Amino acid sequence: MNHRIIQALCVASLTLGATSCNDFLDVQPKGELTQDVQFQRTQGYYDAMYGVYGTMAAKKLYGENLSYGFLDKIGQMFGYLNTTNNDTEILNYDYTNNTVRSTIDNIWTSQYQAISYVNNVLGNLDQLNSSDESLRLVRGEAYGLRAFLHFDLLRLYCPDYRQQPEAQYGLPYSDAFNLENKTVYTLKGTYERILGDLDKAEEYLHNDTTMAAVEGRESEYDFNRPRQFNLYAVYATKARVYWSMGDYTKAADYARRVINAKQNFALAASTQFNDVRRFPAKGEMIFGLYNNGLSQSIYNTFFGTVQASGNFTEARQDLDKVYETSSFASDNTDVRFAAFYRQNGSTFTFQRLINSEGEIKNAPVEGVTLLRLPEMYYILAESIYDTDKAGALAALNAVRTSRGLKALAADDAKLLNRESFEKELMAERMREMPGEGQVFFSLKHFNRSFTDIRGRKTIQPEERIFVLPRPERELEFGNKQQ
């Protein structure tokens, strides 16, 4: 029997004025596909997962907004400074501005759209009786992605768990492909759902231990695992989740699982840093998304035809302080500074992803990195500081020395107490992660005052900064909290 099931969903933007249940499920049937044909072959599941990864890699999500775009602007890493435009409102955290609010709402909607595609895959797998090992891989990836996508929504739209562990308003957790209202869980309940999906992902991916591209695998689908959500991406995401919860014992455990997988991952030597400065960052990338169509947009953002007039998206103006360039010497030079930035008088141009117009054709960006090895060292260092200061220092120094810097001595002032150590870890994250959207999450985690993009104004940590507003209609609908 040929069942015709409504598969394609279009997420209605707020500007269209559509109304429905939770805003993320503000969807209407767009067309009908013979879903039994799509999912009667293993290749159909592969194609569906490629669609999920493609959705995530688009500019509206990790291809811009959740990497070098909106997220790094509210992280005070980049901004269009010489002309009044919407970046002014973004940098000032004016989330009520119509254009800024539209971006925030579209991130929410687009992220849940990607989740709905994951749920479609899982829903069909549940109806399939198959022992195909490749489909076990697909199921593990899907559970992992559902957790990963919800977790980034949680980090954006919910309060910090360490500050408000009893917060009543978490996320609507979408775990089915339908138009029904989703239960809005408490913050703790949302974390439990995320960790539950990661546990399932770990179960299904437990044999997924080889990250190198290996000829002779069962299919092209599992040929290059860091470009898909793999076992070590599960470990790294669990490390992030537990780190954000303040469960440092478990955070350290999962960070070590990645660090200790020496057959798959290793920090690059400083002389080889250019090989890992961007996607695919072989040996350092744990998980990333393929998209070879981003180069022109990135170039236009950070270079473009207007750079000569001084109108372009600038990097922070105090990078010399961030990288402590006054301490540079022949045996102590942070290779990231020159690899990531080009100084133009008093301004800095971000060149980590694209450093010239010629690179657009000759060496284009092939994708975005979402999880990398240095972060695991930072999580480990922070997590064990109170119980093993020598181990924490060793973890931090592993990254420093790989980037051309001298190892910090045990009596360095940066290691004096936990507060000073966390400040150094925050600085390290700023030095290591520009263009990846992670600085904002780090500022939220450490919850300390920070300076604006010009390095002049001190900004105090506030919930109005660190908790983005949800789409208005999302606040009107949804089932009771659990």
For residues 105 and 91, give the distance between their C-alpha atoms in angstroms, rounded to a whole number: 17
For residues 135 and 331, give the distance between their C-alpha atoms in angstroms, rounded to a whole number: 50
Around Cβ 382, how many Cβ atoms within 10 Å?
24
- Neighbour-count burial of 109, counting CB atoms closer than 10 A to its CB (0-12 exposed, 13-18 middle, 19+ buried): buried
For residues 280 and 223, give the distance between their C-alpha atoms in angstroms, rounded to a whole number: 14
pLDDT at 29: 32
pLDDT at 369: 98
What is the 3 state secondary structure string of the chain?
CCCCEEEEEEECCHHHCCCCCCHHHCEEEEEEECHHHHCCCHHHHHHHHHHHHHHHHCCCCCCCCCCCCHHHHHCCCEEECCCCCHHHHHHCCCCCCHHHHHHHHHHHHHHHHHHHHHHHHHHHHHCCCCCCHHHHHHHHHHHHHHHHHHHHHHHHHCCCCCCCCCCCCCCECCCCCCCCCCEECCHHHHHHHHHHHHHHHHHHCCCCCCCCCCCCCCCHHHCCHHHCCCHHHHHHHHHHHHHHHCCHHHHHHHHHHHHCCCCCCCCCCHHHHHHHCCCCCCCCEEEEEECCCCHHHHHHHHCCCCHHHCCCEEECCCHHHHCCHHHCECCECCHHHHHHEEEECCEEEECCCCCCHHHHHHCCCCEEEEEEHHHHHHHHHHHHCCCCHHHHHHHHHHHHHHCCCCCCCCCCHHHCCHHHHHHHHHHHHHHHCCCCCCHHHHHHHHCCCEECCCCCCEECCCHHHHCCCCCHHHHCCCECCC
Residues of the chain with pLDDT under 70: 1-36, 83-84, 129-131, 214-219, 305-311, 475-482
pLDDT at 214: 62
